Chains A and B, each alone.
Chain A
């Protein structure tokens, strides 16, 4: 036994001694260094003389797989085009895709794996995942664009929520209902929402707007696993609501609208931007959705007559024939362009370090990029980048299954609204 112990001590000592000289990690404790390359551009982690590495943290196998697939394909296509046009700063963009399947632990593991070699994150699906990593992302200074629009994601200079947040959309939706759908003070409106960030963010907005407009709000909370909205529709009907806001997934939205119409609850519905998918137009729910259902969203639908979208449609259909052109394609592409523009601006400032990329991004206070809508203000990060919302209507004939019903506007209610401070 004593021999063993001696052997153990010897092994440990030898190994420890060896580690001190051979380990890559033996940096003596200095932070990962920024360097200045031959071209005079300051670089940081994820940027070499020839490449810039971007990480897409997505969901390809979980509940948001359809969104993840569209966003990822659109973004990869954009970066390929950017490379074909000569890249950024003489460097090629490389993308690393990691699928977390909407699982917080897998997302954290994926982030830990890719973060040391990542310059920016043009896609991070899932507000629980981004929230869990918010502090790390902020400390690592990696410019990150979450594909989630909850208010809890505001407040970090490294995280850029694009466009409006869910609450702002719902405020504009209530404004739309009062102005164009005859909802007046004293009426009741329902709000079906998911538990969690998405739903509760949206609920904040509807509560605020309902209070201001003198409406009574009837809440129904569901889980992402619920499929059949009969009980909820019955409850709304019992409460006698005159309109319903919908902040759930596309399936639940379709179920609710179908049941409500079938049981004689014929009222207007307005959904959050995540409560609709063109795939639903191939299901029996289509007639109900086409009747009186709207979606409040910050980005113009892909059918909007914008040159940048027409090019996107042509390119995407050529590269991915038969794949749906849903809102994920448009929003993913937009986010890729935002990152591309931030990198270009950082290059112009000769600073491609992570902090340099964030500074360059935050210096843009009226970014529009050809995508229509009110320009986004990236210089603030404790408020939504935009307050204007399109009202979009499902349309079977249109590309992407939706058309603009009402141009983007900022309601007076939204201007009054103060985003709740982060917890």
Chain B
């Protein structure tokens, strides 16, 4: 009951944001939404199923570039299919899933560290293609992203739209699309995690052999989750491209992949809420530090000598957050919130286990 009320409050606030905050906050918020979708995806894979992936940025790139390719009108220098943009967005997500599927011979066979480093190859190989397949990707400079147009409603600056006296440009319009996509992603992932597949995934993470013995088709599940997580990545990529209005290969590198891993650890492994929380933390922190660098002690405004610059402070904080969370807050930010909420202690069994895998460090636990 109270929970429901709280959620409606949150939803109402989120709805109001574009009426008050300026472009900077909307853009930051939209980046965070895209990150949230991507993080939910990688949390299904790494958090819930225990498959380490360092190649998530690649699937964002596939989604972003596929959307551009499908929706753009072909020109002399750049290819394109000129499809309706809504269809292009859906196809882009599918293509990201197919890319994940093509990797399944590796994703289904490799485990742990081997899989993690193998997925590095996706990043380097992917960026190589992005830089070199200029006809498709525009090379180093990337490509302009066509505006999304759904059923005659344009998510661009034109035609001018004024809602309640507030001019609605690209960012304001995309804000609501972003909210809808995040909500959809959350609901779907919750469904997966709470149902039979989720239990199977957790069993694979916690004890793969037991899962196999109990009749879970382990290899098929692993490949399937990889595809699903790639599709989430693709969707995040499409949203990111729409916000950026330009795709550039440089962005989809190793650092982005590592950011995603940091998000899910900080937020809480294996849960949807954790992914969203971690995504917000990692994407908002540097922006907040930069914006308020004048008033934060020890952090110097960019360009002034002495002190730690906001960008560096943000990186140190977020690196430290990863370490702190693992050492002191098993379960991440979400676990912390639950802990606070569970006081005074009540008897309650969480539906999905909020703590990370109970797999221990000794390899011979029966």
Contacts and interface: CB of A to CB of B under 8 A. Distances in A.
B162 interface: yes
A24 B19 CA distance: 9
Interface string A21-34: 01111111110000
B244 A108 contact: yes
Nearest to A28: B165
B167 A27 contact: yes
A136 B165 CA distance: 24
Interface stretch (B107-115, B137-145, B357-365): B137-145
A97 B305 CA distance: 12
A165 to B, nearest CB: 15
Contacts of A200: 139-140
Interface string B309-352: 11110000000000000000000000000000000000000000
Interface residues of B, number: 52
Contacts of B13: 15
A103 interface: yes
B188 interface: no
B1 A25 contact: no
B144 to A, nearest CB: 7
Interface in A1-37: 1, 4, 7-8, 11-12, 15-16, 19-20, 22-30
Contacts of B215: none
A113 B246 contact: no
Interface stretch (A54-62, A181-189, A363-371, A378-386): A54-62
Interface in B131-163: 131, 138-142, 144, 160, 162
A313 interface: no
Tier of interface size on chain A: 35 or more
B27 A128 contact: no
A280 B281 CA distance: 40
A16 B164 contact: yes
A280 B184 CA distance: 54
Given A11-B8, A15-B16, A196 B140 contact: yes
Given A61-B309, A99-B303, A116-B22, A132 B164 contact: no
Contact of B246 (A7, A97, A132, A197): A132
B248 A98 contact: no
A19 B141 contact: no
B20 A24 contact: yes
Given A1-B4, A105-B244, A60 B303 contact: yes
Contact of A15 (B12, B245, B246): B12
A247 to B, nearest CB: 13
B20 A23 contact: yes
A26 B141 CA distance: 36
A73 B286 CA distance: 23
Given A12-B12, A128-B250, A109 B24 contact: yes
Given A97-B303, A195-B140, 13 more contacts: A7-B8, A8-B8, A8-B12, A23-B19, A23-B166, A27-B166, A73-B303, A99-B290, A99-B311, A105-B251, A109-B31, A135-B245, A196-B140
Interface of B: 1, 4-5, 8-9, 11-13, 15-16, 19-24, 27-28, 31, 77-78, 131, 138-142, 144, 160, 162, 164-167, 244-246, 248, 250-251, 286-287, 290-291, 301-304, 309-312
Q: Which 5 A-B pairs have the closest CB atoms?
A: A97-B303, A8-B8, A26-B165, A196-B140, A19-B19
